[in-house]
Structure 1
């Protein structure tokens, strides 16, 4: 990696937590300059605009968070156990970035005002849903999950419950909602499993 590439990566890494905590509108380029110790020209040499930097910062943050949440999942045998593991990892893995989940934060921040960030969040969400739905579909194909289960519905429900519970837990300053979501999802996943006769 060249010196310029290293500098660019450092800017992204140092800007990502700021954008995640303050949002696009709440993060000024001066905040980025203060965090990196660079002059304005040093940042704009690598990024044409604040929006480009915010987009790169989101992609970096989401890649780190999703990797942390998936770590070890591939080694888990069985679709239902893989899904339960995903729920546990979400509930138990400490936040990688200050300010909470970059997917939820950026989705709320970009909902009405930033089509570039909104498109990136939509792509990240689509990928997460597809990954979960694929596990469900594999479980159906392998006879582990009931045939009447709709993979999309399970994926949407898991994500909605986990992200919503994370928001409530952050607002209330405790882990009650995230633990309730974990237990409820584990019960749901038990119900979709094919019972051995």
Structure 2
């Protein structure tokens, strides 16, 4: 592991727990045991480090979902793969400070445009991915042709992110489990042929 990777491993959870604004250089040096100079030898500034930490958190928490969905056959199975993954999401990210996309999207909107844009692009990637799954299901005659793919994708992502916010706010993963059950029994059931 090189120094940059070491720094990211140590500070990514700190940024996600304390916020990308609330994390100070002292927090960063305390987490790594490195000097300010050593940090800035590897990253151009705090904003660069925050963006790389966000990407590190995404690789740990969300990229495995994308990999799982890509390896799953059939649109309905892909949608169930999403909800099944989310059921274990709380345990996956609870010690890392929660959902990195949600955290960065809320924390950085008005103060770090580059990091906010990265969170916004990730959210859009979710919408595009879900829309593609639904469109493919319509084409394969698995999903009702009158289904609005973008509308349903936005609803699904809203339930995922909203339940994640509430689960971490209340330290209660049942918010996620209940929302995923609702997606399965109400949304997926309604659009399935």
Cα displacement string for residues 18-68 of structure 1 (whole angstroms, at most 9, x for unaligned residues)? 110011221011111111111111111111110110011001111221123
Structure 1 distance, partners of 2:112, 2:63, is 25
| Aligned-pair CA distance for 1:115 | 0.6
The aligned counterpart of 1:172 is: 170
| Aligned-pair CA distance for 1:134 | 0.9
The aligned counterpart of 1:40 is: 36
The aligned counterpart of 1:191 is: 190
Instruction: Tell me if 1:14 matches 2:14.
Output: no
The aligned counterpart of 2:139 is: 141
* Residues 95 and 101 in structure 1, CA contact (< 8 A), matched pair in contact too: no
| Aligned-pair CA distance for 1:127 | 1.1
* Residues 58 and 101 in structure 2, CA contact (< 8 A), matched pair in contact too: yes
Higher mean Cα deviation, 155-164 or 85-94?
Answer: 85-94
Instruction: Tell me if 1:95 matches 2:76.
Output: no
| Aligned-pair CA distance for 1:130 | 1.1
Matches within 5 A, 1:110-129: 110-129=108-127
Aligned residue pair count: 190
| Aligned-pair CA distance for 1:173 | 2.0
The aligned counterpart of 1:86 is: 82
Structure 1 distance, partners of 2:109, 2:173, is 27
Structure 2 distance, partners of 1:113, 1:83, is 35
Cα displacement string for residues 85-113 of structure 1 (whole angstroms, at most 9, x for unaligned residues)? 10110122322452100000111101222
How well do the aligned residues superpose, as a CA RMSD in angstroms? Answer: 1.5
* Residues 21 and 108 in structure 2, CA contact (< 8 A), matched pair in contact too: no
* Residues 131 and 150 in structure 2, CA contact (< 8 A), matched pair in contact too: yes
**Ranges in structure 2 where 5+ consecutive residues have no aligned partner:** none
Structure 2 distance, partners of 1:52, 1:175, is 32
TM-score between the two structures when normalised by the length of structure 2: 0.92
TM-score between the two structures when normalised by the length of structure 1: 0.90
Structure 1 distance, partners of 2:96, 2:5, is 18
* SS in structure 2 of the partner of residue 11 of structure 1: helix
Q: Which has the larger radius of gyration?
A: 1
Instruction: Flag as ranges the 4+ runs of structure 1 deviating above 6 A.
Output: none
